[in-house]
């Protein structure tokens, strides 16, 4: 299950972008129209994890790692866990 193009891949990329922006949003820019693409640089890696069958724990750890190491934002576990659960639901929808 690793499509890199086509409708399934496009749908998952859109969903991941939305979840990262509106749910995960560790820097608090979800309400800023000019920042809509703020997390798009992370979409590809998150999609790759999803296609490889990552579980919620792995996804959350990846997101926490980004927030902590790349953004200097500790204590994002709860946001990451919520986003991971929603990302897994989207993977299920896209791959049905």
pLDDT tens, position by position, 30-62: 989 899 999 999 999 999 999 999 999 999 999
Give the Å distances, CA to CA, from 5 to 10, 16, 44, 79, 93.
Answer: 7, 15, 12, 29, 17
Q: Structurally, how many domains does the chain consist of?
A: 1
Q: Let me know if residue 2 belongs to a domain.
A: no
- Name the more confident of 5 and 62: 62
Side-chain-side CA neighbours of residue 86 (13 Å)? 16
83 close to 19: Cβ distance less than 8 angstroms: yes
Q: Let me know if residue 83 belongs to a domain.
A: yes
Domain that holds residue 64: 7-94
Q: Let me know if residue 59 belongs to a domain.
A: yes
- Mean predicted lDDT score pLDDT of the chain: 95
User: In whole angstroms, what is the distance from residue 73 CA to residue 64 CA?
Assistant: 9
Q: Let me know if residue 1 belongs to a domain.
A: no
Model pTM? 0.93
CATH number of the domain within which 27 lies: 1.10.340
């Amino acid at each position: 299950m690793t499509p890199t193009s086509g409708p399934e891949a496009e749908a998952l990329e859109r969903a991941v972008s939305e979840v990262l922006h509106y749910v995960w949003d560790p820097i608090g820019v979800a309400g800023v129209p000019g920042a809509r693409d703020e997390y798009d640089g992370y979409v590809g890696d998150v999609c790759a994890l999803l296609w490889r069958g990552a579980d919620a724990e792995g996804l959350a750890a990846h997101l926490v790692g980004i927030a902590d190491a790349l953004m200097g934002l500790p204590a994002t576990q709860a946001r990451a866990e919520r986003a991971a659960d929603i990302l897994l639901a989207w993977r299920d929808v896209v791959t049905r």
